[in-house]
A and B are shown apart, each in its own frame.
Chain A
């Protein structure tokens, strides 16, 4: 399945997922707490560019990521510039975009599998509260493998409706799609039970 991961070989790619996530979140938090001034906007921008250069992900990818947030830029800045001073509007927009783009470094440089493992490890301390990390990992794995199955089911529902000449609408699609999906869920539940999951 398609993920946001961009293959690469720099040290940042090889860094373990857990500490990498921790450091990135600290940077994001620091950027988020900057005051709403022109200086903050410059700092946020500089930190972002520096993060993409130091991690060797590259300025080109930074460009892609900023373009990907274009609607957030338009909506946040467009609305704030009408009601707030220009300095606040620019600083707030820069801060928000910098936080999102820096956080994106995690999924850009780490495989979903590695992040899943790190997430499962991170849940271990919660075992004492009755949380079962293996069970959580099972649910996540089942969900990931179910997405392509349901996508095929959705395509099947659409094609059947088109073959009958039925009008395409949200409701007329969702009801049969939900029925086949929930039926699949019950079969999946039986299959899990048969394999010893209780």
Chain B
């Protein structure tokens, strides 16, 4: 949610910059002048784009989306519970990163990322939902903070790749999406932040975090299997609403 506010001022700033440069240049050769001049003539236009963006957001996140985002945040919490199913073979692994991969693959980019934000906000507000019963704002200043933020971007990237070009999920796209978003993106954000927090050299930190790579690769495989099974077991989960 908090991320959602960020792109808007940027786009508004660039839009303002474009109109300013268009006003400075006397002869705009592009075929766009009617669009750029039209809003300039109406003074109260500053409110107009705001209402349209808020309306767009409101229509994009409807009741079904709210329910799915909230439920997937809760799924993340359940996957972090200490239980027998968190044991793979004899090695106890946290199933929570499995939830990150599943969120992007099932819910898609925006809803997947929003469900991660909701889950992390609940953690920050003091619910002990991270694997091992950890929680609180302290988790976001510790060495693993970058991985937590990486979950948001990771779920988004997974959703973009897995759901690219239509609704039909393919094995290849799902596999690529889960590995790129769920492992590469999460590590790319998590490792530098860990190096920054612990002030260890980046190379050493990378070496240290490679310990988790086998487990994450296993989880990526499991995610792909689960996702492709779920497409047949509960296709409604992947069906997005008709967008007007």
Contacts and interface: CB of A to CB of B under 8 A. Distances in A.
Interface of A: 1-5, 21, 24-25, 28, 32, 36, 68-69, 72, 75-76, 79-80, 83-84, 88, 92-93, 95-96, 99-104, 106-108, 110, 112, 115-116, 119, 123, 126, 128-132, 135-136, 138-140, 142-144, 146-147, 149-151, 154, 158, 168-171, 173-175, 177-179, 181-186, 188-190, 192-193, 197-198
24 contacts: A75-B208, A79-B200, A99-B138, A100-B139, A103-B137, A104-B138, A106-B126, A108-B136, A119-B121, A123-B1, A128-B50, A130-B57, A130-B58, A131-B2, A132-B58, A143-B119, A149-B74, A151-B78, A158-B83, A169-B85, A170-B86, A174-B222, A185-B71, A197-B66
Nearest to B4: A131
Contacts of A112: 125-127
Given A83-B204, A178-B234, A3 B128 contact: yes
A150 B48 CA distance: 42
Interface string B110-122: 0000100011011
A139 B70 contact: yes
Give the most central of A21, A76, A129, A183: most B CB within 10 Å. A129
B127 A197 contact: no
A99 B141 contact: yes
Given A83-B200, A140-B125, A174-B98, 20 more contacts: A3-B135, A36-B199, A102-B138, A115-B125, A129-B53, A139-B1, A143-B118, A144-B122, A146-B73, A147-B127, A150-B75, A151-B81, A158-B84, A170-B222, A173-B85, A174-B95, A175-B226, A175-B230, A184-B71, A188-B67
Contact of B88 (A92, A129, A170, A179): A170
Contacts of B225: 171
B63 interface: yes
Nearest to A188: B67
A47 B23 CA distance: 55
B142 A96 contact: yes
A140 B120 CA distance: 10
Nearest to A194: B63
A181 B68 CA distance: 9
Contact of A188 (B9, B70, B139): B70
Nearest to B114: A139
Contact of A130 (B56, B83, B234): B56
Nearest to A152: B78
B8 A100 contact: no
Interface of B: 1-2, 4-5, 8-9, 50, 53-54, 56-58, 61-75, 77-79, 81, 83-86, 88, 95, 98, 102, 106, 114, 118-119, 121-122, 125-129, 134-143, 197-201, 204, 208, 222, 225-226, 229-230, 233-234, 236-237
B5 to A, nearest CB: 4
Contacts of A192: 63-64, 66-67
Contact of B54 (A28, A32, A130, A151): A130
A99 B50 CA distance: 39
A120 B75 CA distance: 23
